[in-house]
Chains A and B, each alone.
Chain A
Amino acid sequence: ETGVTQSPTHLIKTRGQQVTLRCSSQSGHNTVSWYQQALGQGPQFIFQYYREEENGRGNFPPRFSGLQFPNYSSELNVNALELDDSALYLCASSSGPRTGLYEQYFGPGTRLTVT
């Protein structure tokens, strides 16, 4: 069984640029969630995708957008990068319906630095 994978591992971007982060869900999982973790804080929910549709969004501006593909992998896109976007971006996958009753498994994260 393959776990959750993310790419790239590290990324350095300049303010104003755009970035795409990728996540492959664990085998058998159809739900992917994205979280942002700033230094010294707990992860904060960005949004979730269930069977290719957005299923809830946290308090993040529209320049954070996402996509889920038929194989349940997912992308997180961030436009017009700001310095405060520097963080660890975590992807989590889970199986089952939208009830939140299923365990979520996290990938290793992508560390984004905006200069």
Chain B
Amino acid sequence: GIQVEQSPPDLILQEGANSTLRCNFSDSVNNLQWFHQNPWGQLINLFYIPSGTKQNGRLSATTVATERYSLLYISSSQTTDSGVYFCAVINYGGATNKLIFGTGTLLAVQP
């Protein structure tokens, strides 16, 4: 099945710094989502971005479907950005219509 890899696995930033998180996937996808999981376990939707570029405030994302990767940019990081960031994909050509999650990036933003 499709493999999803995220890098880096861990990231420590000072407040105000910028960062780039990467998601690589091994096959073509119909759907790609970025999530932020807060310390209570809630998965918060950041972007639905199977291709192209989107921006939402300090966050932006780019997916290059032909090269099978997506990037999440966080600018001017804040302590509230801390948590785990997941990308997840659906390859509808596969056996089931399911989100396949990457291993996540654990982000800690220090004041």
Contact = CB atoms under 8 A, between A and B. Distances in A.
Closest 10 CB pairs of A and B: A56-B96, A42-B101, A45-B98, A100-B90, A106-B43, A103-B48, A100-B92, A100-B97, A109-B41, A108-B42
A56 B98 contact: yes
Given A42-B102, A42-B103, A88-B41, A99 B96 contact: no
A55 interface: yes
Contacts of A44: 101
Interface of B: 30-31, 33, 35, 40-43, 45, 48, 50, 86, 88, 90, 92, 95-104
Interface string A66-109: 00000000000000000000001010100000111111111011
Contacts, number: 68
Interface residues on A, range: 20 to 34
16 contacts: A37-B41, A42-B104, A43-B43, A45-B99, A45-B100, A48-B97, A55-B97, A57-B96, A98-B97, A100-B90, A100-B97, A101-B30, A103-B31, A106-B43, A108-B41, A108-B42
